[in-house]
Chain A
Amino acid sequence: RKEVEQDPGPFNVPEGATVAFNCTYSNSASQSFFWYRQDCRKEPKLLMSVYSSGNEDGRFTAQLNRASQYISLLIRDSKLSDSATYLCVVNLGNDMRFGAGTRLTVKP
């Protein structure tokens, strides 16, 4: 089993749609969690940290389910500019593990 798993997609959605990604992790002792966004041939950029209580930043909502060992990202009212690959990152002490990413394309 991979340490961090994501559905690679692609997810193709129309503008204005709501889309959700899940990410599962294997190590129950994992301590911190993040969602990054990566545009084609660019570096990953932090989208948001994921807190135990869940957190929201504008159209983006992240949630953590420790019992089932997954994190989720919800994007509401999708924009064309949301098209990117979304990387799930799980931290265990000094080890940061990236998922392979979920590709999202938002179409007009």
Chain B
Amino acid sequence: DAMVIQNPRYQVTQFGKPVTLSCSQTLNHNVMYWYQQKSSQAPKLLFHYYDKDFNNEADTPDNFQSRRPNTSFCFLDIRSPGLGDAAMYLCATSRDPGNEQFFGPGTRLTVL
């Protein structure tokens, strides 16, 4: 089945220790998104790639970076995680901007 896969599902890191979350898709979609979602809040868009074009949200901290080495994979790098970065990180894809998005199961990040 075509799908969006995220690894790991749960990640524990220490304050300030860099961490990388990964997302892959078999849908061959052009757009990949990273969202941060905290408890009882809406998913907050961090950035997205439209093919190779990177689009950063204005209020996404510099601490968050992303890479998309090919169509199938996208990575979220958190350079120096703080306690406030503990959240669920959701990857999503869409065929084109504005189309419905399909989400991966998320990575729950804990910062100690």
Using a CB–CB distance below 8 Å, which chain A residues touch chain B?
4, 31-32, 34, 41-46, 49, 87, 89, 91, 93-101
Complex-state Cα separation, A89 to B101, whole angstroms: 10
For chain A, what secondary structure do more than half of its interface residues adopt (helix, strand, loop), or is it mixed? strand
Complex-state Cα separation, A89 to B103, whole angstroms: 13
Residues of chain B with a CB closer than 8 A to A34's CB: 100-101
B41 sits at the interface (CB 8 A)? yes
> CB-CB contacts of B65-88 with A at 8 A, as 1s and 0s?
000000000000000000000001
Contact present for A43 and B103 (CB under 8 Å): yes
Contact present for A93 and B98 (CB under 8 Å): yes
Task: Kindly list the 4 A-B residue pairs having the minimum CB-CB distance in the complex, ordered from nearest.
Answer: A43-B103, A98-B42, A94-B97, A100-B42
Residues of chain B with a CB closer than 8 A to A97's CB: 45
Residues of chain B with a CB closer than 8 A to A32's CB: 98-99
B90 sits at the interface (CB 8 A)? yes
**Interface Cβ pair total, 8 Å cutoff:** 48
Residues of chain A with a CB closer than 8 A to B104's CB: 43
Residues of chain A with a CB closer than 8 A to B97's CB: 91, 93-94
Using a CB–CB distance below 8 Å, which chain B residues touch chain A?
33, 40-45, 48, 50, 55, 88, 90, 97-106, 108
Complex-state Cα separation, A98 to B33, whole angstroms: 13
Complex-state Cα separation, A46 to B27, whole angstroms: 15
In the assembled complex, the CB of A80 is this many whole angstroms from the nearest CB of chain B, namely 22
Contact present for A44 and B103 (CB under 8 Å): yes
- From known contacts A43-B106, A100-B42, infer whether A49 and B55 are also in contact, taking CB-CB under 8 Å: no
Residue from A43, A49, A87 in contact with B42 in the complex, judged by beta carbons closer than 8 Å:
A87
Residues of chain A with a CB closer than 8 A to B40's CB: 100
Contact present for A94 and B48 (CB under 8 Å): yes
Residue from B42, B45, B101 in contact with A46 in the complex, judged by beta carbons closer than 8 Å:
B101
- From known contacts A32-B98, A94-B50, infer whether A44 and B90 are also in contact, taking CB-CB under 8 Å: yes
- Other A-B pairs beyond A41-B88, A42-B106, A46-B102, 5, CB < 8 Å: A43-B106, A87-B42, A87-B43, A91-B97, A100-B41
